[in-house]
Chain A
Amino acid sequence: MIKYVSEFRNVQAVHKILKDLHGITKHSWSIMEICGGQTHALLRYGIDELLPKKITLLHGPGCPVCVTPLEKIDKAIYIARQSDVIFCSFGDMLRVPGSHLDLLSAKAEGADVRIVYSPMDALKIAGENPHRRVVFFAVGFETTVPAIAMTVHRAATLKMKNFYLLVSHVLVPPAIRALLAAPDNRVQGFLAAGHVCTVMGYEEYIAISKEFKIPIVVTGFEPYDLAMGIFMCVRQLENGTFKTENEYTRAVARQGNVLAQDLMHRVFKVVDRKWRGIGVIPQSGLDLNEHYAEFDAETAFNVHLEVQEPEECISGLVLQGVKKPFECSEFAKRCTPDHPLGATMVSTEGACAAYYRYKMIDGDKK
């Protein structure tokens, strides 16, 4: 598969776009990359250092690990600690701190917590362990939803009685709207997350571009994609246009993956959702709809919690692009990847973790 990415890591091609970008940039612009995967790629390849000084990148809330609210983590830990439960999760949720501990610590205390790469693996575990209750932590943006919808659909077909989902899905467009509607909004252009748009297409983004008069470029994750996405966004800003454009044409079609969307709508319904560090964003999440309610872990385990977030972590402001990670007084001091105070320091896609990993060169903070 690596041959499919190598051409998008071609140094000459990337430098050519960056040169063009320097040529067209006349004014100062703030652009937000929505997706944490893009934040990491930008910093990992050092693309951010090669941009014109007039361009400021703001790192968006597109990291599902980072925005999963504290109370969901606490609920996950509560459920995982039940003696008959096998709790399955994507790997990087395991280190996210809840109010008191994380899932890895719960595992160390004896909870049966397992890393899976696909939700179908969790369903397989449920089939192999008919006397245990198997719960899958359904986290992620629109990208992970279809596979999870397929799993639930399959569980229903198989009439599984020991398989549940703890659902914490979030949607990108409502978050963009919330950011743009905020009074202290600084974002002048967006790079939309290519993988999300692979599933959902970009019709919704066209409406946002029109309504908020803001350019949006659907962008991939390789150095070439990122340089090109920024170039296309700046070109619009300099020209005073505000369209939604597609840089990631090799993966994204305007209407997206219609089959995957149908499956999503068959299993899930749109609901209000709390985002860690940000608060409730209306119509920004997905829950199982009434046809699949029997698979809902929160109902099955009767777990209802509301948790206040600690005040010392400014991850909410970081996720909204209002502050940079190093503007936090605890960054790289009390808060490190080993001892994260907030979720943005935990996930490999979190902005704080990205700055910690890639930007602390020579001990300085850029």
Chain B
Amino acid sequence: MTQDILSFQCPIPLDEYPYVVMGHGGGGRLSHQLIEQMIAPALKNPYLDGHDGAVLGPVDGKIAYTTDSYVVNPLFFPGGDIGKLAVYGTVNDLAMCGALPRYLSLGFIIEEGFSMNTLWKILVSIGIAARETGVQVVTGDTKVVDKNKGDGIYINTSGIGVVPHNLRIAPDQVKTGDKIIISGDIGRHGMCIMSQREGLSFESDISSDCAPLAGVTAELVQNVNVHCMRDLTRGGLVSALLEIAGVSKTYMEITEEHVPVNSNVAGACEILGLDPMHVANEGRFIVFVPPVDAQRTVQILQQHDIAQHARIIGTVANGTPGSAVACNAFGGRRILSMFSGEQLPRIC
């Protein structure tokens, strides 16, 4: 089966239906053809047995549950695609709770006229990402909307994970004195997407950092006293710090020059007038641990390819609860604040 999937050959005869039509979401023959010939083979597992719901076996531990939606444009970008992103993103949200990801649901909202071949490529990518991260897609749904009422394809997911320990890994566990550790350089995903967008196209070879994190987080949870973890998705490092500072009523101080930024990302941000600390990531996270565990945490992270540039970037310190400050090498300090609305490139 793997061979079939990796062949990237769309199983629905393209001369018959090269594009998704309204009927593919209508519940009739075309819907069934789509599920049986495309979705089921790509995501094959025993739970996809024709029921609308999945009955899952008993689990050993608490349950972590999350949901997310994916609307990225372009659908394919250097380092990933919307399918891979949907799996990794959902898995990562579970991983941040200290959970082992188990099951996913997938809801597709597809625009009429969407290329069947492109849909197949996305399904294949989802299948590969699911196997890689050890999750099973156990239930799903497909709707088709009128032409011009969608942006190609949207994917909604939910994910279930098992928490195999009694630790509470959450923002309210963060304590004054904790060290803040980052898993690698920031800003790749956001700048990769921005470099691809119409109207902002500029030459760059920035790839998305899109990566699954559950393996490394599981190892951390087993070996060090993790207080909190957070992936640095929308809003980037700054939003993650401020959200956690807000919940834990703590004050964070980071050293700006310790935050790794790839030189291409730094250059692109410089040109567009953006701050890399605000830019989205899809494979980076921060960990809060007591000082005694900080070095060990960095060591564990650095053993993984996806976190080999991990380092300590700051401390939870004494200061105004709910705020975060970046210290720079010149001796200046600046308050970190979430940007308003969306980040907009500036004029000059």
Contact = CB atoms under 8 A, between A and B. Distances in A.
Given A114-B199, A361-B325, A1 B344 contact: no
Interface stretch (B78-86, B130-138, B158-166, B269-277): B269-277
A125 B325 CA distance: 42
A147 B266 CA distance: 24
Contacts of B271: 1
A121 B197 CA distance: 12
A2 B334 CA distance: 22
B335 A361 contact: yes
Interface in A81-137: 88, 90-95, 104, 114-117, 121, 125
A64 interface: yes
B340 A93 contact: no
A363 B323 CA distance: 9
A266 to B, nearest CB: 22
Contact of B347 (A65, A125, A338, A363): A65
16 contacts: A2-B266, A2-B270, A45-B330, A46-B330, A46-B333, A47-B330, A65-B346, A90-B345, A91-B347, A104-B341, A141-B348, A144-B347, A223-B330, A348-B273, A348-B346, A361-B325
Given A45-B332, A46-B328, A362-B320, A64 B340 contact: no
Interface residues of B, number: 32
B270 A45 contact: no
Question: Chain B contact residues: over half helix, strand or loop, or mixed?
Answer: loop
B335 A359 contact: yes
A360 B330 contact: no
Interface of B: 199-202, 263, 266-267, 270-273, 319-320, 323, 325, 328-335, 337, 339-341, 344-348
A357 B337 contact: yes
Given A139-B347, A140-B347, A46 B332 contact: yes
Closest 8 CB pairs of A and B: A46-B332, A91-B344, A91-B345, A1-B267, A337-B340, A358-B334, A90-B347, A11-B329
Contacts of B201: 121
A50 B328 CA distance: 12
A92 B347 CA distance: 7
Contacts, number: 113
A349 B325 contact: no
A92 B199 contact: no
A117 B347 CA distance: 8
A281 interface: no
Contacts of B325: 361
A334 to B, nearest CB: 15
B215 to A, nearest CB: 32
Contacts of B273: 92, 348
Contact of B199 (A47, A117, A338, A357): A117
A140 to B, nearest CB: 5
A37 interface: yes
A362 B320 CA distance: 5
A39 to B, nearest CB: 13
Nearest to B325: A361
A14 B330 contact: yes
Contact of B341 (A14, A46, A95, A114): A95
A308 to B, nearest CB: 26
B333 A347 contact: no
Contact of B335 (A144, A347, A357): A357
